[in-house]
Amino acid sequence: MPELPEVETVCRVMRRALVGERIARVEVVRDPLVFSSHTPRAVERALAGRVVDAVGRRGKYFWIALRGPGPTVFGHLGMSGWVREVGREGTRLRGHGDAAFDDDAGRPRFMRLRLETAGGRAIAFTDPRRLGRIWLGLSPERERRIARLGPDAYDDLPPVDALVALFARRRTAVKAVLLDQGALAGIGNWIADEVLYQARIAPARPASSLAKAEVSTLRRAIHRVLAHAVRVRADHRRFPKSWLFEHRWGGDRGAARIGGQAIVRQVVGGRTTAWVPARQR
């Protein structure tokens, strides 16, 4: 599932292709799941002819802010959504496999939305599983799905003392707190497992049991993992081989060991969790 680094990657793609440009052509594929209550015509009217002022993100949500009166376009990638610039290969996620991005006619496969600027650049939102969402709203400040999010884990990672206070109030598993988007926005399942592995903290430990030094170590791991994943444009092939990431996938369950230590898989915080008991306490 796309998480913060993947969403930041597609936001940068959109910023590069769209910001400062007028949208000359909008193509919307009718899909009552992806577009919820909005008709293709409503989405076209919201976008066509308007200049893109900014592309914003908080956690796993993104938005396209447009100049002048009219709605803001919001989005969430869901489980398999993606955005790329048409005509460029871009980042390929694990779930993309080796299949061509475009069909035999040169159109993006599984396309739901395509925006083309007056300058000729275009982006496409694709989603084979149709679990992503695109909708219209007033502004990020007035959009309830944005307002209920906690601080962004990449752009606004709280200082150590604030995280200590957050964890001290929570007796649930530390992984569950990391996954709580109202506490810290953008961390999903693989990132939570990765930062806990790097911080040597067991995922089922009560968050309130963490000492300040452990919270500090965890914060550094969050910063380090997100910074690297964003820097390499969420390309997993460029993640360090020492990370848990590549070992937690593959086959029926993934690798049995990492660095000679057994990987255990169990449900923590409602999600399948990979961790290493010999390392994480």
Res. 100 pLDDT band, cuts 50 70 90: confident
Backbone angles phi, psi at 245, to 5 degrees: -45, -60
Asked if residue 250 has pLDDT above 70, the reply is no
Q: Is 3 a catalytic residue?
A: yes
Structural domain includes residue 281: no
Structural domain includes residue 280: no
Asked if residue 252 has pLDDT above 90, the reply is no
Given 3, 116, 143, 214, the catalytic residue: 3
* Residues 140, 207 share a domain: no
Structural domain includes residue 153: no
Question: Which range among 126-130, 226-230, 232-236 has the greatest average pLDDT?
Answer: 226-230
* Residues 219, 179 share a domain: yes
* Residues 42, 108 share a domain: yes
Structural domain includes residue 121: yes
Q: Given this model, what pLDDT does residue 249 score?
A: 76
The CATH number that applies at residue 38 is 3.20.190.10
The CATH number that applies at residue 261 is 1.10.8.50
Residue-number span of the structural domain to which 208 is assigned: 160-275
* Residues 62, 17 share a domain: yes
* Residues 137, 169 share a domain: no
The 10s digit of each residue's pLDDT in 179-209 is: 999 999 999 999 999 999 999 999 999 999 9
* Residues 254, 196 share a domain: yes
Mean per-residue pLDDT over the chain, rounded: 93
Q: Which of these three, 117, 147, 177, is where a domain ends?
A: 147
Given 2, 5, 71, 203, the catalytic residue: 2
Structural domain includes residue 155: no
Ranges 37-41, 56-60, 63-67, 211-215: which has the least confidence = 37-41
* Residues 230, 126 share a domain: no
* Residues 196, 65 share a domain: no
* Residues 143, 19 share a domain: yes
Asked if residue 90 has pLDDT above 90, the reply is no
* Residues 194, 263 share a domain: yes
Structural domain includes residue 37: yes
Asked if residue 126 has pLDDT above 70, the reply is yes
Q: Which of these three, 85, 113, 147, is where a domain ends?
A: 147
What is d(CA 254, CA 237) in angstroms, rounded to the nearest whole number?
Answer: 16
Given 5, 8, 60, 71, the catalytic residue: 60
Pairing of strands 257-258, 133-137: unpaired
Q: Which of these three, 123, 147, 171, is where a domain ends?
A: 147
Please tell me the total count of domains within the chain. 2
Q: Is 60 a catalytic residue?
A: yes
Structural domain includes residue 133: yes
Structural domain includes residue 154: no
* Residues 168, 105 share a domain: no
* Residues 164, 143 share a domain: no
In the chain, the percentage of residues whose pLDDT exceeds 90 is: 85
